[in-house]
Structure 1
Amino acid sequence: MQRAIDHPRWGEDMPTAWVPLELELLQEVENGNNIISRSQLETLNAENKTFTLTPNQLEGFLKIQHSLGKLIYFDEMNLRNFIIINPVYLIEILRSIVTDKQFWPKKESCTESFRRLRKEGIIKKKTIYLKWEQDEFSHILPFKEFMLDILIHLDIIVSPRTDLKNLPLPLHTVSFYLVPCMITNPDNTNYIATYCNDKTSIVLAYTFVDDVIPPALSYRFLGSILTMWDLKIYNGTRMIFCDLTVVEIDDEHDIAVQVKEKRVVVSLVHHDNKTRIVPTLSSSIQECLTAAIYRISEFYSSLSTDGSNHQRVNTTVPFEIEFGVFCQSSICYLHHRKMPSAIKVTWKCHQHRTEHDVRYLRYWYAEKKPAESCSDICSGMYIVEKGIHC
């Protein structure tokens, strides 16, 4: 009851004109229909004569009903043509993929595919369709493309940027997906020991107010990273584990992401030496990651609003940005606003009473302005994604 009272729409008057359409949707659910198309909804709306909603009113109805948890509707290009009118139905969709071994399909090919899913986080599109062909999930098949789009939108499954051989992959030819939340294998490589150290990497952390980060948030963040950069292949191993994900920026730079209690720890790695990290590249990466984690935070806060800009609730950002320094046997953190001035290059860890050179941590917020000449360590221009860096 208290959680209901805390909802931002508690106590608001709702239009009487909504009642007939609400009742008709409830009747559809009772008749066994969990999803309806936008055209079906418009037909039901038109049948209400006196209480027919205008297109704008119908859109507002959908968004507010979504915020109240009465239905699921996303106003996105490839999602707005269907509405899940029974929210519990989404659980059926999720458990068809995010499931325990005892519920795997009995076909040998599917069993092997699900073993790979737990080990590498990879599932083929045809395996998903085979799962949905089972009697238990056959009701999903008429909406299979829409359901895949929903799972991608929620970052349950992630469309990769490259194929299994790390070759560019056009979106319309995607044959497999990554499912970070299903991976159970821990990192068994020497990557962290080799590259995530004071010599080769700089560290940034998103430290959350809560003691533990919700798993869904961290999975969405990983999903965002995997859509921006290619998953790294290191000594023949795809670098995605339950405790580590590494993506490749170019031939010299990687990003390693770990979730440790209340922190999402991001290490920007240069294969040779952190002094060779490109400052503007570092700050661009920081901006991309921060924007992504802001959007994810907004996504969760929007679940309790109607999604319209003028009525969106202003929420407090649930995390702080910190810098990490390799201190004795662990990483110690300082708030990014407490960085020493540009003149001072060291910071003292009060816990271990150790001085650290933190000049390279400023790369996370390097200014992007033209220079008349290159630095001594510049090796020339090269292309990173869609930009040219020097």
Structure 2
Amino acid sequence: MFTSEFEPVYCIEGGTLQLKCTVYSETIDVHWFKGDMEIKENENIHIIWADKTHLITFKHAKVSDSGQYCIVAGKVQKQLEVTVQALFKCPLKNITKMEGLEACFECEVEKPYPGVWYKDGKELKSSSNIKINTIQESVHKLTIFQTTLEHKGKYEIKINNILSGADLDIKEIPDAIKQMSEHDRSIFLEAAKNGTAARYNIRIILVGKQRVGKTCLLRRLMNEGIEGVESTDGINIEVKKCKINLQTKEWIFTKGNESPLSEYPNDQYADCGFWDFAGQKEFYATHQTFLSRNAIYLLVVDVSEDFEMNTFKKYIDFWLDNIHCYTVNDTDESMILTNDLLNPPVIIIGTGMDKVKDTGKTKDSFEKFINELLREHPKRKHLRQLCFLSNTKPSKDKKEFQTLRSDIFERANEIPKWGDNLPTRWIFLEKEIDRLVDNEEFVISYDKAKSLASKCSFSLEEVTLELDSFLKYEHEIGNVIFSEDIKSYIILEPKWLVDVFKCFVAPFQFQNQCINMHEWSRLQSTGHLSKMLIEKLFTKIQVLNLTENKAVALEERNEENTLALQILKEKKTFALEIMEKFDIIVKPITTANNEEYYIPCMMEATEFNQILKTFRVRNKKCSRTSWFGLEFNFLPPAFFNHILVTFLKKYSLCIVGDGRLAIYRGIGIFDLEASKCHKLVVCISEYSVAMQVWQFKKGERICYHEHMKYLTYIVDLLQQKYRIKLPYQCFLKCPDGTHHEIAERIYLSDVAKTAQHYCPKHPFHTLDELRRFWFEVCIKSLRKGKIKTREQQAVLNDRPCDTYCLCIDFKCFFQIIAFDG
């Protein structure tokens, strides 16, 4: 039947495949089979015959066309082996890259053909950030030099009508890394080249006034009993005390668990750390150190109390305002959710349900109270839900606490930092740190940290640079305390710093051992922190309260062969430096070059009238400038401290007759020049900061714009440092007025409305009278009509008194022009 030989046929995918046979007679029918199925013509298969020759053509061969073919002529069959070789020797492979790194797709083909690249179905061309090239005609490459989140998608290359595709997954750079310097970001990306992994972390912060059940609630959430609970001394932090299974959502606690929590894999379990904040106002100066935008806040209130009490409202408002600061602004995309909610999330927990008669009525009343209190204020967008329970008389199965745990886990998924992708070796170093903390080693030297980093495969050539970037990131998210300018030690467990803070910043009931000390009384009245009191307070810190015998015992185990007593001394010095870094303590500048520490937040309040008497300000020989100030929508308590301490570090404090420094609670009085005839007064009150100058020389007309400029500069700097938003407006006030009273404040945004302002002490004030100490040249220039355009303003910017006050607010500037015109 057949007159032709049948040799195996080979072709490349996408090419034309032809199978041919000849028979000895034109009348013989030929049929083509693959397996049991006869092959029929279609758009890709064409079957023809001419005379004795029969031909089947596959226009575009597929790999699936490979196999045994059977040709039947009459009753005779012949077998033919067909092999279609895949066009792509090496097809495209899925890629996962960290945002900012280079991504390169590469494939190799059996035969040189041109190719066309696509992303999500759209053709790609070479650009400044994308390079498409071919190597030796058979290797095709697409390189994205610097990836962004927009590059995520499906990439394909079409060669000879054959497609090869793969996915590009871009992992977002952690928010904390984005806020760091370009140098630190490049260090992070270099480390990420060797692999990344996700790490999940939940920080839960309990806030509220004292004695509402925060610590008991923490115990219940940790599956512990509440026996022996006392009022929280400062801030009690239960850090990484449990893990959460990401799949089952099961909470795993230390108690009754055989394996250390640090041994659980980071990609399967989330770290969960609780921070229990003290409710006493004296501790508020320390809170800002530990608050975070990447946290879940549990605002605890006792619903058995009277809702309508002013203090009840104040505490809820205070904490929601504090949390709302961390939104930065309402247009911050990382803080806004699709359903118009804001991060950080807040769950209000009403405790004391066992003390109310009608639980249903109490729940309804409290929900109504919250709705009326918050109304349309943006801070209500942080609120996720209300939860009601009793710590002392929970339900039999304690199901309400399990429900709360589940809710906390769901809220964690809304946090931008949830599931941060980190370089793998950074996660290894985190685990090494966790092991040290498990062994209660809370503070280590920088040299030991370098040794750990090397062990975790940090770059040997640049171990210090990468370690610093790692530590900055860990500091930013609250895992460790690290400062580049105090690198001698690193605090691995923030609880260690909390213990230090608790010793120095605590109400009387927590300082029984110091009540009868003369140094403690002096601290309360003058803010002075004596060396003797420092040593006494350090005895409250367990790791710093070691006898000489214990220190010698430590010395024998010290692998670095350094005297243990010397290490203790260094750690105490380090503790003081850290507190100074966080503005808890300060060494004020004085003409006597004072080297003593002060704690402004621990001082008792002094009446401003008493201070005026001390300096004889009401004497006829003293004249006072108008007040210039900033009024905030809300000012966290810690910022009172930050602002005052910043002035104490720059300006020289006055010395009062008895030799004490002129520092008071919320007030500092500074000498502006050597003659001490000009004294700058900085006063911080609720939601405002104001300054005034006392002049003990007659006839001098001085513009103090540079001090006003410094005030606004440090406020803006502090907002950047702590990444919070504190809107404010500038105001002026009568020289004889009281700085903290809102009445009779003249806001700069309103100065165009009237030329004169009523004053209870005087008939009226002109704008010139109030502004001349802070904006003197501006007013003169405006009155003379010298400034009418921005270009004219720019010319005057070289003059000492024009530069800042003209730039402070263009809106205000043009209002002044309209007023004087």
TM-score after normalising by structure 2: 0.37
Q: Distance in 2 between matches of 1:350 and 1:36?
A: 60
Q: What residue number does 2:501 align with?
A: 94
Per-residue CA distance 1:30-61 (angstroms, 9 max, x = gap): 11111111111111111124898844332222
Q: After the TM superposition, which residues 329-340 of structure 1 pair with which residues of structure 2 at under 5 Å, given as runs?
A: 332-339=744-751
1:318 aligns with 2:724: no
Q: Distance in 1 between matches of 2:756 and 2:654?
A: 33
Q: What residue number does 1:46 align with?
A: 454
User: In the alignment, which of 106, 110, 114 is matched to residue 520 of structure 2?
Assistant: 114
1:32 aligns with 2:32: no
Cα 1:253/1:50, change in 2 over 3 Å:
closer
1:227 aligned counterpart, secondary structure: helix
User: In the alignment, which of 638, 647, 651 is matched to residue 216 of structure 1?
Assistant: 638
Q: What residue ranges of structure 1 are gaps of 5+ in the alignment? A: 302-314, 372-390
Q: Distance in 2 between matches of 1:354 and 1:227?
A: 40
Q: What residue number does 2:478 align with?
A: 69
Cα 1:50/1:294, change in 2 over 3 Å:
closer
Cα 1:55/1:168, change in 2 over 3 Å:
closer
1:143 aligns with 2:571: yes
Q: What residue number does 2:587 align with?
A: 159
Q: What residue number does 2:237 align with?
A: none
Give the aligned residue type for 1:369: R
Cα 1:339/1:253, change in 2 over 3 Å:
farther
2:730–2:748: 8 Å Cα contact kept in structure 1? Answer: yes
Cα 1:216/1:19, change in 2 over 3 Å:
same
Q: What residue number does 1:240 align with?
A: 663
Q: Distance in 2 between matches of 1:107 and 1:351?
A: 46
1:216 aligned counterpart, secondary structure: helix
User: In the alignment, which of 3, 15, 22 is matched to residue 430 of structure 2?
Assistant: 22
Per-residue CA distance 1:228-269 (angstroms, 9 max, x = gap): 223223454643222533222232211222223211121222
Q: What residue number does 2:774 align with?
A: 364
Cα 1:352/1:9, change in 2 over 3 Å:
farther
User: In the alignment, which of 233, 256, 261 is matched to residue 681 of structure 2?
Assistant: 256
Q: Distance in 1 between matches of 2:744 and 2:625?
A: 14
Q: Which has the higher contact order (CA 8 A, sep 6+)?
A: 1
Q: Distance in 2 between matches of 1:11 and 1:284?
A: 46
Per-residue CA distance 1:210-237 (angstroms, 9 max, x = gap): 2xx2221111111111122232234546
The structure with the largest alpha-carbon Rg is 2
Q: Distance in 1 between matches of 2:618 and 2:514?
A: 42
- Segment drifting more, 122-131 vs 348-357: 348-357
More strand per residue: 1 or 2? 2
Per-residue CA distance 1:277-326 (angstroms, 9 max, x = gap): 411xx11211222222222222221xxxxxxxxxxxxx655323222236
Q: Distance in 1 between matches of 2:705 and 2:727?
A: 22
Cα 1:88/1:135, change in 2 over 3 Å:
closer
Q: Distance in 2 between matches of 1:201 and 1:353?
A: 15
Q: Distance in 1 between matches of 2:665 and 2:702?
A: 29
Q: Distance in 2 between matches of 1:7 and 1:141?
A: 40
1:159 aligned counterpart, secondary structure: coil
2:744–2:759: 8 Å Cα contact kept in structure 1? Answer: no
Q: Distance in 2 between matches of 1:50 and 1:205?
A: 50
Displacement of 1:332:
2.2
1:196–1:267: 8 Å Cα contact kept in structure 2? Answer: no
Give the aligned residue type for 1:96: C
Cα 1:355/1:207, change in 2 over 3 Å:
same
Cα 1:28/1:141, change in 2 over 3 Å:
same
2:575 aligned counterpart, secondary structure: helix
1:297–1:318: 8 Å Cα contact kept in structure 2? Answer: no
Q: Distance in 1 between matches of 2:458 and 2:598?
A: 49
1:340–1:347: 8 Å Cα contact kept in structure 2? Answer: no
1:265 aligned counterpart, secondary structure: strand
Cα 1:25/1:370, change in 2 over 3 Å:
closer
- Segment drifting more, 219-228 vs 292-301: 292-301
Q: Distance in 2 between matches of 1:167 and 1:8?
A: 49
Q: What residue ranges of structure 2 are gaps of 5+ in the alignment? A: 1-295, 297-342, 345-411, 547-567, 778-797, 802-821
User: In the alignment, which of 518, 523, 535 is matched to residue 129 of structure 1?
Assistant: 535
- The count of residues paired between Structure 1 and Structure 2 equals 339
Q: What residue number does 2:607 align with?
A: 187
Q: Distance in 1 between matches of 2:748 and 2:668?
A: 24
1:70–1:85: 8 Å Cα contact kept in structure 2? Answer: yes
1:223 aligned counterpart, secondary structure: helix
Cα 1:30/1:259, change in 2 over 3 Å:
same
1:298 aligns with 2:710: no
Cα 1:50/1:11, change in 2 over 3 Å:
closer
Q: What residue number does 1:388 align with?
A: none
Q: Distance in 1 between matches of 2:696 and 2:470?
A: 53
RMSD value, Cα: 3.6
Identity within the alignment, %:
21
Displacement of 1:5:
6.1
Cα 1:359/1:200, change in 2 over 3 Å:
same
Cα 1:82/1:221, change in 2 over 3 Å:
same
1:121–1:240: 8 Å Cα contact kept in structure 2? Answer: yes
1:209–1:262: 8 Å Cα contact kept in structure 2? Answer: yes
1:59 aligns with 2:468: yes
Q: Distance in 2 between matches of 1:351 and 1:57?
A: 62
Give the aligned residue type for 1:348: H
Give the aligned residue type for 2:428: P
Cα 1:196/1:214, change in 2 over 3 Å:
farther
1:258–1:264: 8 Å Cα contact kept in structure 2? Answer: yes
TM-score after normalising by structure 1: 0.74
1:73 aligned counterpart, secondary structure: strand
1:17 aligned counterpart, secondary structure: helix
Q: Distance in 2 between matches of 1:101 and 1:191?
A: 25
Q: What residue number does 2:285 align with?
A: none
